[in-house]
Structure 1
Amino acid sequence: MTIDRVLHDAPWLSSGPAMRVLELLNGDGEEARVVGGAVRNALLRIPAGDIDIATTALPEEVVRRSKVVGIKSVPTGIGHGTVTLVVDGQPFEITTLRQDIETFGRKAKVAFGRDWVGDAQRRDFTINGLSVSSDGTVHDYVGGLQDIAARRVRFIGYPDRRIAEDYLRILRFFRMHAAFGAGHPDHVGYLACIRGRAGLATLSAERVRMEILKLVVAKGAVDAVVAMEDGGLLLSILGGVAYRGPFANMIAAERDLGQKPNATLRLGALGVATTEDARRLAIRLRLTNGETKALDSMGHRWWRLAGMDQATARRRLYRLGAARYRDRLMLAWARAGVDADPAPWRELATLPERWSAPKFPLKAADFVARGISQGPALGHVLTLAEDAWLAADFPLQESALTAIADRSAERFARDHRP
């Protein structure tokens, strides 16, 4: 066993729900530790996210102990040793130490045990193979501490074997490097990912979507995308061209505006130039309805938003709505190139924050009073009037609205004269 340091700066170890769970599961011959990402993040001094716990206790014992103290337990994966305990509304996955007897994709035949070394060695990357006891002692059996210090994402054991166990680890390798790594990806792991890239075709679209959307918002996403494309990995994922330049430009535009990373916008910049691209991505990644509609809107004549004056931008905002306007405008900005002056783009992008489109004030009754009959004719003249109202820059004065209504009714009557 290797014990390299004591973790002093993880508040969840000394108070709160996680501490209560560890106290519950430790003792009477059993041991529990926090494992995986929470330990990694604490060492990197970033927020913990989910806190997962491993234990020597069998699932039945975990359930028994939780019942004694009135903690809710949910058998989320009891066949593989996982029970979820809910403490003060916070869920904790509790997994009995185990060893893979046989692996086939994401599924594995496991045997429960009490071997902390074996449990660490079955994990994917060294930085995820650390565990910490309730007293703050960090246990490292796979070289994770050294790799955290070097900001290096490295497979545990033989990379080709770990990838063959679950080909999603190829995407996780790049996602983890984008989030936690520095410099070039680990060379041995990178070459193994290239050798195993055909296995990506065996993965479900849902799992690929989840990893890609996490990857594109990571801090090192640009370099990770470049490495993936250079290794021939992106084509099989996106099913088309990867637009590295617009992807980097989208990230720069977000930062220019002080916006948080937006996974849908970044995916659109990476893979969408037309609505056909958007529909292909929606199918390949099985995107949600909201993501699909956003990408489809982004790909629809985004180039018309380049170089707009403020009057035209207001009309576009009115027609599209704030969300679709922002999405399409951001793609146009990202595809304008690195040399584009950001000032006019910034002005266009922030228009929804400075101006809200009024509602079209004319009603059907205004045109019925002017002799337009109910039915298709009424819809037609309303469209003419709305177009004229937009062209006049949204006037609300009664005199201007009366003139627009009169002219629209006259034009309709003239165009439909027998």
Structure 2
Amino acid sequence: MTEARVLGHAPWLKSGPARRVLALLNGGGEEARVIGGAVRNALLGLAVADIDIATTALPEEVIRRAESAGIKSVPTGIEHGTVTLVVDKHPFEVTTLREDTETFGRKARVAFGRDWMRDAERRDFTINGLSVDAAGVVHDYVGGLADIAERRVRFIGDAAQRIAEDYLRILRFFRIHAAYGAGEVDRAGYLACVSGRAGMANLSAERVRMEMLKLMVAPGAAGSIAAMGDCGLLQQIVGGVAYTGPLAAMIEVERMLGLPADAMRRLAALAVAVTEDAYRIAARLRLSNAEAKALDSMAHCWWRLAGMDEPAARRALYRLGAAAYRDRLMLAWARAGGVDAADWRRMADLPQRWTAPKFPLRAADFISRGIAEGPALGHVMTMAEDAWLAAGLPLEAEAVASIADQTVARFARDHRL
């Protein structure tokens, strides 16, 4: 099937670096088009970030033309026909038309060609199989235009074959649906994912992480994640219980608080009930140190934030800091349900209503009271901070001095000084 239409709003086709690359590669018996996600997003009226280009020209010819025009070229994947051209600091992946002759999971043996239809047929989903030429004409060989109109994500050709070529496409199926689809996932694709899920065991944790974190922040994350749970994929990924209800609640809490989607908050709601869960998820997905720390912080006794009064909330905010307090509170809120509860909103708004003061006592305050420098001093300061928090974080000089005196007296009594 071949269908074509003129692409409407795509200023990057009329001027700028992308237009320059197309002009460079067109002519002299060769043709170049923008392919994949940029075309899909333009048709859906969404922002276009990366612009990838396909060409009939062989990699050597792409490099030759770039050098003649004074454009930097980098052979980023030249064995598969990909050269990156850098124009006005914008990188463009330029790939020669090809077809897979043999596949090995994520790897494939390819042959270069000049057939745009064959090149489109080797891609993953119909909405990613579109191309647009320099004149703005969209070329569709796989039914992508109809699927974009229906917001439907379908594999190109036989779904099971596409998956067998690269088992990461199982996760991409749900992620692309969450980002661009509507309604239920395509049934044929869904059944093929269920049948092929054992192949995911050989995927690298880094690749799974990348897809999962993109999926977690997609607009339709709740629906796609629920579909994955129904077919047993979530347990295979997280290695434990998956809580799709709290995930949906977390998404609603983010919306109510006007916060952007956050992958770690959503992952915590989905799969983290205790700190051991956070450690397991961090290891399975090879999370960064910062990501693992965020999960661990949210998991630590989140249930204690449920039902707090204002003084307890202030103590928690002081201990955790604004960002960690907010995220842990949101996890407790999502797991408690009842996302419209006024008390939760009030506690979530605390960082905007109140700024935690600094602990007013310093080491010198205790040294002057007879505590020697060393481990004892640190211990006394910790005791004093706990007492100050329990007293409601007072700042009046008399109250602060009283806390220091009482702490030193208690320490002396406990240690028989």
Does the Cα contact within 8 Å between 2:59 and 2:96 map onto a contact in 1? yes
Equivalent position of 1:201 in the other structure: 201
Q: What residue in structure 1 maps to residue 280 of structure 2?
A: 280
Deviation string for 1:221-266 (max 9, x for gaps)? 1111111111111111111111011000000000000111101110
Which amino acid in the other structure matches residue 96 of structure 1? T
CA distance in 1 between counterparts of 2:344 and 2:140 reads 49
Distance 2:24 2:12 in 1: 15
**Alignment partner of 1:335: what SS?**
helix
2:43 is aligned with 1:36: no
- Residue 123 of structure 1 is matched in structure 2 by 123
- Offset at 1:52? 0.4
2:415 aligns with 416
1:384 aligns to what? 383
Q: 1:61-210 maps to which residues of 2 (within 5 A)?
A: 61-210=61-210
Q: CA deviation at 1:353?
A: 2.8
The 1-side partners of 2:56 and 2:293 are apart by 47
Aligned mates of 1:412, 1:184 — CA distance in 2: 64
Query: Cα deviation per residue 1:328-371 (whole Å; 9 max; x = unaligned)?
Result: 1111011011x354322122222223322222121111111111
Distance (whole Å) between structure 1 residues aligned to residue 187 and residue 209 of structure 2: 25
What one-letter code is carried by the residue in structure 2 that aligns with 1:391? A
Partners of 2:3 and 2:366 lie apart in 1 by: 82
Please say which of residues 191-200 and 383-392 is displaced more in the overlay: 383-392
Q: Output one character per residue of 1:160-204: Cα deviation in whole Å (capped at 9) or x when no partner.
A: 111000000011111111111111111111111100011111100
1:46 and 2:46 matched:
yes
Partner-residue secondary structure (3-state), 2:63: helix
For the pair 1:211 / 2:211, whether they are aligned, the reply is yes
For 1:352 and 1:402, the matched residues in 2 are separated by: 27
Partner of 2:392 in structure 1? Answer: 393
Aligned to 1:264: 264
Counterpart secondary structure, 2:155: coil
Q: Say which SS state the counterpart of residue 41 (structure 1) adopts.
A: helix
Quote the residue 2:343 is aligned against.
344
Counterpart Cα distance in 2 of 1:396 and 1:13: 62
Q: What is the deviation of 1:397?
A: 2.3
The question of whether the paired residues in 1 share the 8 Å contact of 2:249 and 2:339 is answered with no
Alignment of 1:266-415 (within 5 A): 266-337=266-337, 339-415=338-414
**Cα displacement string for residues 16-74 of structure 1 (whole angstroms, at most 9, x for unaligned residues):** 11111111111111110000010011111101121100001111111111112221111
What code does the residue aligned with 1:128 have?
A: N
Greater shift, 320-329 or 111-120, is seen at 320-329
Instruction: Please report the RMSD computed on the Cα atoms of aligned residues, expressed in angstroms.
Output: 1.2
TM-score, length of structure 1 as denominator length: 0.97
Q: Which amino acid aligns with 2:356?
A: A
| Shift in Å, 1:392 | 2.2
Q: Hey, what's the Cα distance between the residues in 2 that align with 1:240 and 1:377?
A: 43
Q: Compute the displacement of 1:372 (Å).
A: 1.3
Amino acid at match of 1:397: E
Q: Letter of the 1:382 partner, please give it.
A: M
**Relative to 1, partners in 2 of residues 1:386 and 1:74: Cα closer, same or farther, differing over 3 Å?**
same
1:232 is aligned to 232
Contact 2:84 2:94 in 1 (8 A): yes
Contact 1:85 1:91 (C-alpha < 8 Å) held by counterparts = yes
Q: 1:3 Cα deviation (Å)?
A: 3.5
Is the contact between residue 34 and residue 51 of structure 1 (CA under 8 Å) also seen in structure 2? yes
Alpha-carbon contact 1:246-1:335 (below 8 Å) kept? yes
One-letter code of the match for 1:45? G
Q: Which residue of 2 aligns with 1:249?
A: 249
- Paired letter, 2:77: G
Q: Which runs of 5+ in 2 are unaligned?
A: none
Equivalent position amino acid for 2:366 in 1: F
Pick closer, same or farther for the CA change 1:340–1:128 going to 2, 3 Å.
Answer: closer
Q: For residues 208 and 158 of structure 1, what CA distance do their matches in structure 2 show?
A: 23
**Whole-Å separation in 2 of the counterparts to 1:340 and 1:144:** 38
Match in the other structure for 1:17: 17
Query: What letter matches 2:17 in structure 1?
Result: P
Q: Distance in 1 between matches of 2:140 and 2:170?
A: 23
Deviation at residue 4 of structure 1 after TM alignment = 2.6
CA–CA separation in structure 2 for the residues paired with 1:241 and 1:410: 50
Instruction: Report the 3-state secondary structure (helix = DSSP H, G, I; strand = E; otherwise coil) of the residue aligned with 2:54.
Output: strand
Equivalent in the alignment of 1:55: 55
Amino acid at match of 2:369: R
| Conservation of the 8 A alpha-carbon contact between 1:3 and 1:137 | no
CA distance in 1, matches of 2:66, 2:341: 57
> What is the CA–CA distance in structure 1 between the aligned matches of 2:359 and 2:13, rounded to whole Å?
58
* Distance in 2 between residues matched to 1:45 and 1:303, nearest whole Å: 42
SS of corresponding position for 2:294: helix
Change (3 A) 1:13 1:297: same
Report SS of the residue matched to 1:196. helix
SS of the residue 1:356 aligns to: coil
- TM-superposed CA distance for 1:304, in Å, is 0.3
Task: Report the more deviating stretch, 351-360 or 126-135.
Answer: 351-360
Residues 53, 92 of structure 1: 8 Å contact kept? yes
How many residue pairs are counted as aligned between the two chains? 417
